[in-house]
A and B are shown apart, each in its own frame.
Chain A
Amino acid sequence: MSFEPKILGFLCNWCSYAGADLAGVSRMQYPPNIRVIRVMCSGRIDPKFIVEALRVGADGVIVLGCHLGDCHYLEGNYEAEKKFDMVKKFLKLIDFDNRVRLDWVSASEGARYASMITEFTDHIKTLGPSPAGGDNPDDEILEELKAIEEAAGSDRMRALVGRERKITEQENVYGETVSLDKFNEIFDLAIKDEYNRHRILGLLEKESKSVKDLAKELKIDSSIVLEHMITLKSRGQVDFGELLGITPTFHKL
Chain B
Amino acid sequence: MEKVGAVMVVGAGIGGSQTSLDLGDSGYRVYLIESTTSIGGVMAQLDKTFPTNDCAMCIVSPKLVETGRHQNIDLSINCEILDVSGEAGNFTVKVKKKSLYINPDICTGCGVCGRNCPVEAIDIFNEGIARYAATFVKYPQAVPLVYAINKECCIGCGVCAGVCKAKAVEYEREDEEVDINVGSIVLAPGFDEFIPQQANKYGYGKYKNVVTSIEFERILSASGPYAGRVLRPSDGDIPEKVAFLQCIGSRDYTGEGQPYCSSVCCMYTAKEAVIAHEHQHEVKPTIFSMDIRAYGKDFDKYIIRAQEEYGIRYIRSRISSITEVSETKDLKLRYETEDGKVIEEDYNMVVLGVGLNPPDDAKYLAEKFGIELNEFGFAKTDVFNPVQTSRPGIFACGAFSQPKDIPETVTQASAAAGCVHQILYEKRGTLITEKTLPPEIFVAGQPPRIGVFVCHCGINIGGYVDVPEVTRYASTLPNVVMADRNLYTCSADTQGIIKEKIEEYHLNRVIVASCTPRTHEPLFQETIREAGLNRYLFQMANIRDQCSWVHMKQPEEATQKAKDLVRMAVNKARRLAPIDRIKLEVTQKSMVIGGGISGMVAALNFASQEIETHLVEKETELGGFAKHIYHTLEGGDVQAYLKDLIEQVKSNKFVHVYTNAEIESLDGYIGNFKTSVIHGPKKERAEFDHGAVIVATGAKEYKPKEFLYGQYKNVVLQSELEELLNTDSVIKNKKSVVMIQCVGSRNDEHPYCSKMCCTEAIKNALLVKKLYPSTEVTILFRDIRTYGFKEKYYRKAREEGIIFLRYDEDNPPEIITEDSSLNVKVKTAKAGDLSIPTDLLVLSAGIVASHEENEELAKMLKVPLNDDNFYLEAHVKLRPVDFATEGIFVAGLAHCPKTIEDSISQANAAVSRACTILSKDEIEVEGKTAVIDMSRCIGCGMCVENCAYNAIELIEDRHFGLVASINQALCKGCGACSGNCRCSAIDILGFTSEQIYSMITARL
- In the complex they form, whether A and B have CB atoms below 8 Å apart is answered with yes
Mark A residues whose CB is within 8 Å of B: 155-157, 159-160, 163, 166-167, 172-174, 176, 178, 182-183, 186, 189-190, 193, 210-212, 215, 222-223, 225-227, 229-231, 233-234, 236, 240, 243, 246-248
- Closest A residue to B239 by beta carbon equals A246
Residues of B215-245 contacting chain A, CB below 8 A: 225-227, 229, 231, 233-240
Q: Is the CB of A174 within 8 A of B171?
A: yes
Q: Is the CB of A212 within 8 A of B237?
A: yes
Residues of the A chain whose Cβ atoms lie less than 8 Å from the Cβ of B236: 210-212, 222, 225-226, 229, 247-248
Residues of the A chain whose Cβ atoms lie less than 8 Å from the Cβ of B320: none
Q: Is the CB of A248 within 8 A of B231?
A: yes
Q: Is the CB of A173 within 8 A of B161?
A: yes
Q: Is the CB of B130 within 8 A of A230?
A: yes
Mark B residues whose CB is within 8 Å of A: 116, 118-120, 129-131, 151, 155-159, 161, 171, 208, 225-227, 229, 231, 233-240, 282, 552
Q: Is the CB of A230 within 8 A of B226?
A: yes
Q: Is the CB of B120 within 8 A of A222?
A: no
Residues of the A chain whose Cβ atoms lie less than 8 Å from the Cβ of B120: 189-190, 193, 231
Q: A211: which of B119, B155, B159, B235 is its contact (CB, 8 Å)?
A: B235
Apart from A174-B171, A227-B131, A248-B237, list 8 A-B contacts with CB within 8 A. A163-B155, A173-B156, A173-B158, A210-B237, A226-B231, A231-B120, A231-B131, A246-B238
Can you report 15 A-B residue pairs in the complex whose CB atoms are below 8 A from each other? Answer: A173-B158, A174-B151, A174-B171, A178-B155, A212-B236, A215-B235, A222-B235, A225-B236, A226-B233, A226-B234, A229-B236, A230-B226, A231-B131, A248-B237, A248-B238
A155, B282: Cα distance in complex, Å: 40
B348 smallest CB distance to A (angstroms): 9
Q: A246: which of B157, B171, B233, B282 is its contact (CB, 8 Å)?
A: B282
- Closest A residue to B126 by beta carbon equals A230
Residues of the B chain whose Cβ atoms lie less than 8 Å from the Cβ of A243: 238
Interface centre among B227, B231, B240 (most CB of A within 10 A): B231
Residues of the B chain whose Cβ atoms lie less than 8 Å from the Cβ of A212: 235-237
Residues of the A chain whose Cβ atoms lie less than 8 Å from the Cβ of B118: 155-157, 159-160, 190
The 5 lowest CB-CB distance pairs between A and B, nearest first, are A172-B156, A211-B236, A222-B235, A159-B118, A246-B238
A215, B236: Cα distance in complex, Å: 11
A166, B155: Cα distance in complex, Å: 11
- Closest A residue to B226 by beta carbon equals A230
Interface centre among A163, A189, A246 (most CB of B within 10 A): A246
- Closest A residue to B236 by beta carbon equals A211
Interface centre among A173, A193, A234 (most CB of B within 10 A): A173
Q: A186: which of B155, B171, B225, B240 is its contact (CB, 8 Å)?
A: B155
- Closest A residue to B225 by beta carbon equals A230
Residues of the A chain whose Cβ atoms lie less than 8 Å from the Cβ of B156: 167, 172-174, 176, 178
Interface centre among A166, A174, A193, A227 (most CB of B within 10 A): A174
A231, B226: Cα distance in complex, Å: 10
B149 smallest CB distance to A (angstroms): 10
- Closest A residue to B282 by beta carbon equals A246
A187, B552: Cα distance in complex, Å: 30
Residues of the B chain whose Cβ atoms lie less than 8 Å from the Cβ of A176: 156
Residues of the B chain whose Cβ atoms lie less than 8 Å from the Cβ of A159: 116, 118, 157, 159
Do A173 and B157 form a contact, CB below 8 Å, given A193-B120, A230-B226? yes
A234 smallest CB distance to B (angstroms): 7
Q: A173: which of B171, B225, B227, B239 is its contact (CB, 8 Å)?
A: B171
B143 smallest CB distance to A (angstroms): 21
- Closest A residue to B238 by beta carbon equals A246
Q: Is the CB of B226 within 8 A of A222?
A: no
Do A167 and B157 form a contact, CB below 8 Å, given A190-B118, A230-B225, A230-B226? yes
A173, B208: Cα distance in complex, Å: 38
Q: Is the CB of B157 within 8 A of A163?
A: yes
Residues of the B chain whose Cβ atoms lie less than 8 Å from the Cβ of A234: 130
A211, B237: Cα distance in complex, Å: 8
- Closest A residue to B151 by beta carbon equals A174
Q: A223: which of B226, B234, B239 is its contact (CB, 8 Å)?
A: B234
Residues of the B chain whose Cβ atoms lie less than 8 Å from the Cβ of A248: 229, 231, 236-238
A136, B116: Cα distance in complex, Å: 39
Residues of the A chain whose Cβ atoms lie less than 8 Å from the Cβ of B161: 173
- Closest A residue to B235 by beta carbon equals A222
Residues of the B chain whose Cβ atoms lie less than 8 Å from the Cβ of A163: 155, 157-159
B189 smallest CB distance to A (angstroms): 30
Do A172 and B155 form a contact, CB below 8 Å, given A159-B116, A230-B226, A234-B130? yes
- Closest B residue to A226 by beta carbon equals B236
- Closest B residue to A228 by beta carbon equals B131
Q: Is the CB of A155 within 8 A of B229?
A: no
B117 smallest CB distance to A (angstroms): 8
Q: B129: which of A156, A225, A230, A233 is its contact (CB, 8 Å)?
A: A230
Residues of the B chain whose Cβ atoms lie less than 8 Å from the Cβ of A211: 235-237
A178, B153: Cα distance in complex, Å: 11
Q: Is the CB of B130 within 8 A of A172?
A: no
Do A155 and B116 form a contact, CB below 8 Å, given A186-B155, A230-B129? yes
- Closest B residue to A229 by beta carbon equals B236
Residues of the B chain whose Cβ atoms lie less than 8 Å from the Cβ of A174: 151, 156, 171
A247, B151: Cα distance in complex, Å: 39
A127 smallest CB distance to B (angstroms): 33
Q: Is the CB of A186 within 8 A of B119?
A: yes
A225, B208: Cα distance in complex, Å: 13
A182 smallest CB distance to B (angstroms): 8
A173, B134: Cα distance in complex, Å: 14
B358 smallest CB distance to A (angstroms): 32
A191, B257: Cα distance in complex, Å: 40
- Closest A residue to B153 by beta carbon equals A186
B280 smallest CB distance to A (angstroms): 9
Residues of the B chain whose Cβ atoms lie less than 8 Å from the Cβ of A231: 120, 130-131
A117 smallest CB distance to B (angstroms): 36
A83 smallest CB distance to B (angstroms): 15
Do A240 and B157 form a contact, CB below 8 Å, given A190-B120, A246-B237, A246-B238? no
Residues of the B chain whose Cβ atoms lie less than 8 Å from the Cβ of A222: 234-236
A223, B345: Cα distance in complex, Å: 23
A175, B239: Cα distance in complex, Å: 49
Q: B229: which of A156, A157, A167, A240 is its contact (CB, 8 Å)?
A: A240
Q: Is the CB of B155 within 8 A of A167?
A: yes
- Closest B residue to A247 by beta carbon equals B237
B298 smallest CB distance to A (angstroms): 33
B110 smallest CB distance to A (angstroms): 16
Q: Is the CB of B158 within 8 A of A172?
A: yes
- Closest A residue to B131 by beta carbon equals A231
A77 smallest CB distance to B (angstroms): 21
Residues of the A chain whose Cβ atoms lie less than 8 Å from the Cβ of B119: 186
B178 smallest CB distance to A (angstroms): 23
A233, B227: Cα distance in complex, Å: 10
Residues of the B chain whose Cβ atoms lie less than 8 Å from the Cβ of A189: 120
Residues of the B chain whose Cβ atoms lie less than 8 Å from the Cβ of A186: 119, 155
Interface centre among B156, B226, B238, B282 (most CB of A within 10 A): B156
A231 smallest CB distance to B (angstroms): 6
B688 smallest CB distance to A (angstroms): 60
A223, B226: Cα distance in complex, Å: 13
A222, B329: Cα distance in complex, Å: 11
A178, B155: Cα distance in complex, Å: 7
A160, B240: Cα distance in complex, Å: 42
- Closest A residue to B162 by beta carbon equals A159
Residues of the B chain whose Cβ atoms lie less than 8 Å from the Cβ of A226: 231, 233-236
A230, B122: Cα distance in complex, Å: 13
A157 smallest CB distance to B (angstroms): 8
A62 smallest CB distance to B (angstroms): 29
Residues of the B chain whose Cβ atoms lie less than 8 Å from the Cβ of A225: 236
Do A240 and B234 form a contact, CB below 8 Å, given A160-B118, A176-B156, A186-B155? no
Residues of the B chain whose Cβ atoms lie less than 8 Å from the Cβ of A190: 118, 120
B779 smallest CB distance to A (angstroms): 45
Residues of the A chain whose Cβ atoms lie less than 8 Å from the Cβ of B208: 223
A193, B120: Cα distance in complex, Å: 10
